[in-house]
Amino acid sequence: MPRTIVILAYPDCQLLDVSGPWQVFASANDLSGHELYRLHLAADVPGSVATNGGLALMADTAWSELSALGPVDTLLVAGGRGVAAQRQRSELLDALCEQARQVRRLGSICTGAFLLASSGLLDGCRATTHWRHCAQLASDYPMVRVIPDALYVDSGGRFTSAGVTAGIDLALSLLEADHGSALAGQVARELVLFLRRPGGQSQFSEVLANQHRASGTLRRLLERIHADPAAPHRVETLADSIGVTPRHLSRLFRQQLATTPGAYLTRLRLEQARLALLTSERAPPLERLASDWQLGGAEQLRRLFQRHYGVSPTLYYQRFGPMAQATMSSHT
């Protein structure tokens, strides 16, 4: 039997929060040659819904009448700047709570997490949203354990995802859970996605995250570090290169990046090791990989990978390295 997927839209929702996941499920139907999913767009009333980009969507059902669709398997709530107004609507929040008791999976894209949290549906759960809004989500809803760096999170059947394109990653993971990795790989390839990212992968790289946060001399120092992360950078040498004391350099890192020079360098090197796994035709020995990126030995590299990415380097390579991509391609 086809699974019914409903995406909830509202005025000023984010267009891609709706169209991205929708296309994943629609492509699964096309590529499988079967109606695996029945897709519905719900809004206040059937008809046009203006997104925050100005392009209108066409809802086919009212959210208050979802029962007419029969059993709903998965309900996803879109994000967007219009979510602020929706959080104040008690009748919508009550409807979400009612649906939560009936659907198999309930989730949100980007700031749609605020609607679920406003309904109390994320209390006691781990959750994420767009990195720009994670602090607000944690502040407004202290009962929610916000994971600020994850692409998407599954917490007991409550699914939340980061901004915009992370909704596609979430939808691919739901598709894979339903119908296996082969079809999910076909869909990813059809949509020209470089790889299917795991939920625990960072929303953004260290380079992108910090090139805008640092300023002045610290930004120039980061540019040098980024140019050669594996160089034997020492705090004393780095401080001397910009004419400050090691203590003052540590203060700059804390003030502007909320970390220490050592922790920042370790995370940057770990990211380079991860990228090496994604591009190596053969899995590099962990001792060599750790040595190449100044990350201690194999065991330390394993611990760092597990802490930051939630998987071992070996498993990460098996899932997302070139051989995994080749396997996905062979199914297309």
Active site residues: 110
Which CA distances in Å does 174 have to 138, 141, 245, 328? 25, 26, 51, 17
153 phi and psi angles, rounded to 5 deg: -135, 135
76 phi and psi angles, rounded to 5 deg: -115, 135
**How far is 228 from 292, CA to CA, in rounded Å?**
12
**How far is 77 from 192, CA to CA, in rounded Å?**
25
In this structure, the dihedral spanned by the alpha carbons of residues 129, 134, 136 and 142, taken in order and rounded to 10 degrees, is 90
Enter the tokens of residue 239: 């401080």
State the amino acid at position 107 in one-letter form: G
Among 106, 13, 100, which residue's Cα sits nearest to residue 59?
13
CA dihedral (169, 175, 177, 180) positive or negative: negative
**How far is 270 from 301, CA to CA, in rounded Å?**
8
Among 327, 13, 17, 9, which residue's Cα sits nearest to residue 170?
17
Among 64, 49, 46, 44, which residue's Cα sits nearest to residue 18?
49
4 phi and psi angles, rounded to 5 deg: -90, 125
Number of other CB atoms surrounding residue 275 within 10 Å: 12
**How far is 154 from 107, CA to CA, in rounded Å?**
9
User: Would you call 162 helix, strand, or coil by DSSP?
Assistant: coil
Among 192, 198, 169, which residue's Cα sits nearest to residue 321?
198
